[in-house]
Structures are given as structure tokens and as C-alpha cells.
Amino acid sequence: VGDFAFDADTRVWAAGDPGEYRAALTDRWDGIGGAVNGGYMVATCTRALGLLVPFPDPIVVSGFFLRPGTAGEAAIRASVWRSGKTTAFGESELTQDGKQVVRVTAAFARLADPRDGPSVAGPSVAGPSLVEGAPPSLPPPADCVGVPVSAFALAPIAERVEFRAAALPGWFLGRPTGRPSSEFWMRLADGRDADLLALPMLVDSTAPSVLELGVSSATIQLTVHLRAHPAPGWLACRATTRFVSGGYHEEDFEVWDSAGTMVAQSRQLAVVLPL
């Protein structure tokens, strides 16, 4: 844990019985309106659970959002449900003032890591591989535009996560496009490279796609598949909402690393809110 904001702010301290931790949620990841970012809380919960399992890599993380979180003290209770030969399962619950805020369930394993060399491998790595799809086709980050941080005085997370896109979003310019899909670059603003722990935060760090429909949203549930260790550098991302109905919508998110590997897929279910 160095001086990077993500590492400092997701830190947990042992507190009492095994699996019980204390966390200090900061206001540096707040979105518009002052709610602590859900992905940041999921990442913090996942980090706590990771201390208990014998495998290094979260491979699937599911978070349910029961209440908005607020900056300040939080308690986390993590427990391992099963630890098998290749996969461990457990949960991690974050409470504030005795009230449940986020419940995270996750599976951990060991993903193949190019840095480990070919001798360390996950299950069945010799099996088939398939990539149906490609990274977003974006101009280089230097040729893209970023939303000015000053425009987000009320969304501190915009200072922590840097975005670049070919053009400014319609909703930001006051002209929602009606198309809640977008492609963009993303990275942590302080130079920390993304890893499997940061990805669950990053996939929830953007403004909701449905802003392009003139509405906002609140996440009920977020599932993240972590598919590979991301290479250092910018991440090419694609956020897509295809179905808005009955007051709910999904948002899908794909993250491709600088080596062209699809490293994370997420989907959330959210409730539509008036702006």
C-alpha cells in the first residue's frame, strides 16, 4: 500500500474476531449528490474477503446495494463459505452505524498471470480460447477529450478516475443523445495501474449511461467477472444499456486492457430515477 488513493481508501484494519474489519470510507469517491461510490465499497469489501481466502484473485464479485454509504467509519464482516482445490467462496458485509449498506459475495481463484511465466496456470488453461468482439475503436488518449474535473465539483470521483472520449457526452453538453451507450478510455488519475481489485470500482465509476435518456439511476446489484490481470496503462471501455422498462435498466460494461485483452465484464441492475 503506497500513496495511491485507491489503496489508502480501501484499506481495512482487523477488528476483533477473525473476519471482522474496520474501514474508513472517504469522500474522495463520491458521485454527484454525495453518495459514496458503490464500486468503491464493493472493492473494499472484496479486499477484506481476500485476506481470508487462500487464492489471490477475485474472479466473480456480486454486490447488492441496500443503502447509500456515507464517508466515515464502516465495519466489515467477512467469512469464507467454502475453500476448495481451485476456488474459494465467501461473503463480505459492510455496515455503518449498525445498518447494512453493501453485501458482497465473491469467488476467488488463481488466474493465469503472464508475469508468473508459463509454469503457474489456472484450471484448464490448455483448453480452447475464444474472443468474439474487439476493444472499442478509439482515437489515442492524447487525441481524446476529458470532461473537465471542475465541471464535477460535486463528484469527487471525477478527480480520482480519468476519462477520455472522442467527444464530450451529450448529457454533459445539455443535449442527451437518446443513446445510452458509449466508449471511452479510463485510468486511475494518480498513476496507479488497475488490478483485479480496482476493476470492480472502475466499472461503476462512470456517470450512468441513462443520463443520455435524460434520467439518472441508482444501482441495486452489480456483478463483475474478472477475466484477466490487466496490463498497465489506459483501459478501453464500453458501457451499454439496451433495456429500460418498468422503471429499471441494466448497464453492461466491458474493460479491455492496453494489450487488447478483455479483462472485465460487468452488469448491473438499476432503478431509474428522475434527474
Q: Which residues bind its own copies (CB under 8 A)?
A: 59-60, 62, 64, 66-67, 81-82, 84, 86-87, 89, 91, 100, 103, 105, 107, 111-112, 121-125, 127-133, 180-181, 210, 213-215, 220-221, 223, 225, 227-228, 240-250, 261-262, 265, 267, 269, 271-274
Q: Report yes or no: 53 and 80 within 8 Å, Cβ to Cβ.
A: yes
Shortest distance in whole angstroms from residue 131 CB to its own copies: 6
Q: Cα separation of 227 and 196, whole Å?
A: 9
Shortest distance in whole angstroms from residue 93 CB to its own copies: 8
Which cell numbers hold the place of 91? 461473503
Q: Report yes or no: 106 and 116 within 8 Å, Cβ to Cβ.
A: no
Q: Which residue type sits at 178?
A: G
Sign of the CA dihedral 108, 265, 235, 70? negative
Closer residue to its own copies in complex, CB, 157/210: 210
Closer residue to its own copies in complex, CB, 147/228: 228
Which cell numbers hold the place of 31? 458521485
Shortest distance in whole angstroms from residue 32 CB to its own copies: 18
Burial code (b: 16+ CB inside 10 Å, e: under 16) for 220-259 equals eebbbbbbbbbbeebbbbbbbbeebeeeebebbbbbbbbe
Closer residue to its own copies in complex, CB, 156/217: 217
Which cell numbers hold the place of 78? 467477512
Shortest distance in whole angstroms from residue 137 CB to its own copies: 17
Closer residue to its own copies in complex, CB, 47/249: 249
Q: Cα separation of 48 and 168, whole Å?
A: 37
Shortest distance in whole angstroms from residue 101 CB to its own copies: 9
Closer residue to its own copies in complex, CB, 24/121: 121
Shortest distance in whole angstroms from residue 227 CB to its own copies: 6
CA distances from 3 to 6, 36, 148, 247 (A): 9, 21, 24, 41
Closer residue to its own copies in complex, CB, 112/145: 112
